[in-house]
Amino acid sequence: MPELPEVETVRRSLLDKIVGQRIQSLEVGDFAGVLDGHRGEDVLARIAGRVVQDVRRRAKYLIIVLDDATAIVVHLRMTGRLSAVPHSEPVLRFQHLALGFENGLDLRFSDQRKFGRVIHVPDIELERLDRRLGREPLERGFSASWLQERLQRRPGKIKAVLLDQGLIGGLGNIYVDESLFRARIHPERRANTLSAGEVRRIHRAIRGVLRAAVDGQGTTFSSFADAAGNSGGYGGQLQVYGRGGKEACPRCGAPLERTVVGGRGTSLCPRCQPAAAN
């Protein structure tokens, strides 16, 4: 599933393509559910003639801000993909929606698994979304002291806690595994047992991993690409994610292990990330 670095990569790739452009058309394919229960003709009636003012990101959501204070919110989920292509291009594989602009480009949404959504919402719904999501890990408010104060209240396993979008917005399975490996913290440690020093290591690791992944334009395993069709370049820098039970630790050489934490496949090094009594 695309996480913060991937969604941020898509956001940046869209800025020079659709900001300032006026919406002309909306075409919906066979999967009407892409609009989350809304009819295509109703959505078009609301957005036709509107101009894109900005493209923002909140956690794993892409927010296309229109000039009437409404927005088109895109959640890519597992296999969703946005492509900016000329209107004359043939329909893409797994395409469910095409948003046409005056400059001759279409913003097309394709999704093999059909879990992603493209929803037009008023500003009050944006406010509700913002309140529902946790702190952005690359913004100033995400400090080590803030994280420590929150983790002290949470008895759950640290990996599951970090994946909670109501606590931290945008972290997912890939970058939590990578961050905990960098911080030398076992993913099953109870969050409220971590020392201040350990929390500082986790905080530093999260920010370092995410910044590097954004610089690398995200990670591509199968379907992720930016709006121009470019794959992410960070995959080669992953240290442990997806390698448990297959490869050795790049730090100490011990066999990496694979387990399940909070229902999510998890890779770790048992030597670099020793378990602690909880």
Which residues are catalytic, by number?
2-3, 60, 264
* SS3 assignment, position 72: strand
From the list 171, 170, 141, 148, the residue with the least C-alpha distance to 159 is 171
* SS3 assignment, position 66: strand
In this structure, what DSSP letter does residue 200 have?
H
Strands (E) located in the chain: 23-28, 52-58, 61-66, 71-75, 80-86, 95-101, 105-111, 117-121, 257-261, 264-268
From the list 114, 214, 134, 116, the residue with the least C-alpha distance to 174 is 214
Return the half-sphere exposure (C-beta side, CA atoms, 13 A cut-off) of residue 211: 8
From the list 272, 202, 216, the residue with the least C-alpha distance to 244 is 272
Distance CA 166, CA 198 (A): 22
What is the sign of the dihedral through the CA atoms of 166, 169, 174 and 178?
A: negative
